[in-house]
Structure 1
Amino acid sequence: MPARAYWQGQIRLALVSIPVEVYPATRSGAAISFHQIHEPSGKRIRYEKVAPGVGPVDRDEIIRGYEVSKDEYVLLDDEEIAAAQVESRKTLELVQFVEPSEIDVLYYEKPYFVVPADDLAEEAYGVLRDALRQTRRVGLGQLSVRGREQLVSLKPCGRGLVLEVLRYADEVHRAQGYFKDIPETEPSEDLIALATTLIEKKTAPFKPAEFHDRYVDALHRLIEKKRKAGTGKRILEDAEDDSGGKGGNVIDLMAALKKSVGEDKPARKPAKNPARKPAARRKKA
């Protein structure tokens, strides 16, 4: 368990308070970051803070500004911004409960593990967890942390609870703006049946460890190869092409789906000269 919690406080359900600690449930992936280098000298590029017509400026002379119109700013110093921040409260009050399906996947932002802060909190923690599981509900509340108020949900996860930071409504684009030009025509039932068969054929348990970033892996191999070579020369490698070449638009969707599910095998042809059964002998009278 990480040494430092993201948040410590209590979850409140009416008159019941449960001391908890909240820890990040995820971590950054194995992304590779690059610096800009001046090739002739091998020195790293640095940047200065410059004001047009003034030149380089000191950090002490820099304050924040909100642009209200082109080249017109409302200036705010650190004290003014700090005074406007929401006071970090140590209580997460569950003010509403909803069915999980009511929260669109677009609203979920980041998950956190919630654990009881001490032995005395374990009983109430378990009651809340099991009650959420039996009612199949998700708790909603607002968490104040680091000067910002976040909308969060709380739901059971195994023997524990998971808190998920949710986006506010103004942070999510409306899907209608992107999907409005898609025609409402329904595909044929035969095509849907073939697509359903293909989905069922490829259905398997989700194993996250089987997926990895192939681009990052390729960069690691390239960096290691250049490091061992001890040269600054470029090394270009042919990228693996899993697509089998660039394909055009699917002309015959039915044929493509049949081929995908393995239904494109040719039918068996009847034998040209089937053997005739010998005629039955007549019985003697």
Structure 2
Amino acid sequence: MLLFACIGLLFTTVFVGMQFGLFNVRGSIDARNSSILTATTSPAHTSLMALIMNLVPASPPAGDTSCTGGQATCAWPETREWAVVAGGLAKDLPLIERVAAETGVSPRTIAAVVVPEQLRFFTSEREVFKRYFEPLKILGSLSKFSLGVSGIKQETAQVIEDHANDPASPYYHGPEAAHLLAYDPAANHDEVLFNRLTDEKDHYYSYLYTALFIKEIMAQWKRAGYDLSGRPDIVATIFNIGFGGSLPHVDPTVGGSLITVGGVDYTFGSLAGAFYRSGELAWLRP
């Protein structure tokens, strides 16, 4: 009983530290966690994380599986990674619904883009996932090349802003986004943008830029005569490959990065579509 009490206290300490930015380091989540026990971290941080690593039992390497039932392969909703993503999205529901109301992009469409990015991160960093994100049931917020909960690159966010403020852009969808993206004239734009996308305590801007990307892509395709409102798999595919891969045509192909979840291979777009059409998190409105 004392052991579990200690574990609970340590996780609470880590969570509180995250909320107040005590452990924040510029760099990707995987980079930060790979250096948890190196000399570059503070002695207090090193001691705390070392204790957690020793106290929290890791799954044995032999026969380790993502599947909640212990089988070798399973569908993505039956994985430990999905359980954590679902818990993180539930915590962020007020933010997702706020962004949906502000942009007109449905909560489920926004989440459909976030889900494959989170599953990709969790499955590619298994030890970090098992020891850190799984116990705390939180989403990973990347902060190096791909940023925030959906993995938007900073240069992509800049392009989103450019399109939102350019009525001549084929991606322009109206003036409503300008005030959502406005900056203090005295602010350092790049610094503020980076902080917007990587704020671990508040994912609002991460969801906002994700939704605006979706809306801009839909506007581009609508101008070309194609409606993507019922194709979250295509929207997510384009989100994954970027604006340069958005070429409106009659028969778009679902694709994107390969993601292995529960021993099953998916593309980024197909995983987004599978979530969107599933009964998972039914409270995320389509």
Structure with the bigger percentage of helix: 2
TM-score (norm 1): 0.21
Structure with the bigger percentage of strand: 1
Higher relative contact order (CA 8 A, sep 6+): 2
TM-score (norm 2): 0.20
* Largest Rg, 1 or 2: 1
